[in-house]
Amino acid sequence: MKLLAKTNRIYLTFSLVIYLLTAIAFYQIIRLVIYDEVENRLRVERRDFEAYVRAHNAWSNIPYFVENKINVTPVRGEVPPISLEIFTDTLILNRYDDELIPFRQLTFYESIQGKIHRVEIRKSLIQTYRLIEVITVAMLLFLGLLLVGNFWFQGKLSGRLWLPFYDTLSRLKRFDLSSVTALTLDKPEITEFRELNDALQKMADKMQQDYRSLKEFTENASHEMQTPLALINATVEQLIQNEQLTETQTHWIERIYQASRRISRLNQGLLLLAKIENRQFSDSQPVDLSALLSEKLSDMDEVLSFKQLSVNVQRTEPFEVQLPVSLADSLVMNLVNNAIKHNHPHGRIDLVSTKDQLCLSNTGGPLTSSPERLFERFKKESAGTDSVGLGLSIIRQIGDSYGLSISYQETAGIHCFRITKVVS
């Protein structure tokens, strides 16, 4: 969810709660004010009633029969206090249209001709209720318009205020470390955004400089280190062919030769990992990994025959991914070499491919370490000297950099490497 949408949602929820509480409070205040006014009028009529009774020592309903708002009845039994005053709401049936009409009623007690009478003075609340309804509707309409207006204004204002941020975000998305074009950010009026752009500008410049330095280092290392290593290997190969060497000298020269080749493979692997991490391979194109694996297995036919390994290929659909061709070849070669190296004689290699995933499995001994640790650099399952422990790290790094999920599972001596496409 976007920040503005989240902010507007919180603001809308908070405003609705505040406006609802305000509407309820306003309604109650208006109701109390109107009820207080009605009760004051009922008290005035009580004083008029008491004045009439004192003047005539009697009461007649004749002047009030039209509104039927005063009811006087003698009290039988226990006599309540004369000072008692009770306000209640009541409903009275309208004699003309048989509808119940709300009234506010004042009940008190008065002595008439020496007898205590209960006096009920009522005042219709029809107009009061209508007034409350009109005020409530008007208030709700006003608050609703105010809420909608504030929400609209908040959205417009936030969009305008956050425009520099979205502009910066858009430029960051288009920024490419490998490009020669430097990142350029504006200097907005808002202090926080200007400071953010300044910090991002410095960070991007430093990252681009570090990227160029690292790229230059890997290119130089790849060239400068391979030349002396190749010279060492060539010299050692010539020494090995010398017939005048003793057995001891031949042994030590062979160890130097193996160490030199190991350093060469290690250098190549580390440089390849650095290039993958730095996204120095930009020529991605659709590659059918299942077809490439099948082809590589066919090329390794002599090695497979030597180790007496059988190959079973089940390709229901091509497994196409976006990869640079050189990295696809490196991934496939490492998978095949791993499946052959860690297999046992008379074992087998199975390739199962569908549109959504690819699984290359091989027989082998039980796993002695954690499956996830196999993808760590320099982590080797076997103690062979011909492995530098970077093959599976290269496979995982290629997958992480190009949207492929690579997992490993071992079940009853069957080791399976599964490749699936990461859904973004």
Q: Tell me: the pLDDT tens digits for 67-91?
A: 447 888 888 877 777 778 888 888 8
348 and 374 housed in the same domain: yes
- Average the pLDDT over 25-40 and give the result: 85
Provide the residue range defining the domain that includes 211: 192-277
* pLDDT recorded at residue 102: 83
Give just the sign of the alpha carbon dihedral 157, 160, 165, 166: positive
272 and 355 housed in the same domain: no
208 and 128 housed in the same domain: no
309 and 249 housed in the same domain: no
* pLDDT recorded at residue 337: 87
User: Is residue 164 a part of any domain in this protein?
Assistant: no
Following DSSP, what letter does each residue of 164-221 receive, concatenated? HHHHHHHHHHH--TTSSSPP-----SSHHHHHHHHHHHHHHHHHHHHHHHHHHHHHHH
When divided into structural domains, the chain yields a total of 3
User: Is residue 325 a part of any domain in this protein?
Assistant: yes
* pLDDT recorded at residue 64: 46
Q: What is the CATH number of the domain that holds 311?
A: 3.30.565.10
244 and 388 housed in the same domain: no
44 and 132 housed in the same domain: yes
311 and 269 housed in the same domain: no
Residue finishing a domain among 277, 302, 336: 277
261 and 293 housed in the same domain: no
User: Is residue 339 a part of any domain in this protein?
Assistant: yes
- The long-range contacts involving 163-168, CB below 8 angstroms and separated by at least 24 positions, are 164/188, 164/190, 164/193, 164/197, 165/193, 165/196, 168/193, 168/196, 168/197, 168/200
Q: What is the CATH number of the domain that holds 255?
A: 1.20.58
User: Is residue 44 a part of any domain in this protein?
Assistant: yes
* pLDDT recorded at residue 67: 47
CB count within 10 Å of CB 295 equals: 12
152 and 225 housed in the same domain: no
Residue finishing a domain among 158, 177, 207: 158
39-48, 344-353, 360-369: which has the minimum mean pLDDT?
360-369
User: Would you state the torsion angle of the CA atoms of residues 195, 196, 199, 200, taken in this order, to the nearest 10 degrees?
Assistant: -150
99 and 22 housed in the same domain: yes
Max distance between CA atoms of the chain, in angstroms, equals 155
User: Is residue 166 a part of any domain in this protein?
Assistant: no
253 and 296 housed in the same domain: no
pLDDT, one tens digit per residue, over 330-342 is 888 888 888 888 8
* pLDDT recorded at residue 65: 40
Q: Pull the structure tokens for residue 19.
A: 């406006």
258 and 366 housed in the same domain: no
User: Is residue 53 a part of any domain in this protein?
Assistant: yes
User: Is residue 183 a part of any domain in this protein?
Assistant: no
* pLDDT recorded at residue 29: 86
Mean pLDDT computed over every residue of the chain: 81
Residue finishing a domain among 217, 248, 277: 277
User: Is residue 254 a part of any domain in this protein?
Assistant: yes
In the numeric block, the tokens 């590589």 are attached to 296
pLDDT, one tens digit per residue, over 148-205 is 887 788 777 777 888 888 888 888 888 877 677 888 888 888 888 889 889 988 988 8
71-75, 208-212, 384-388: which has the minimum mean pLDDT?
384-388
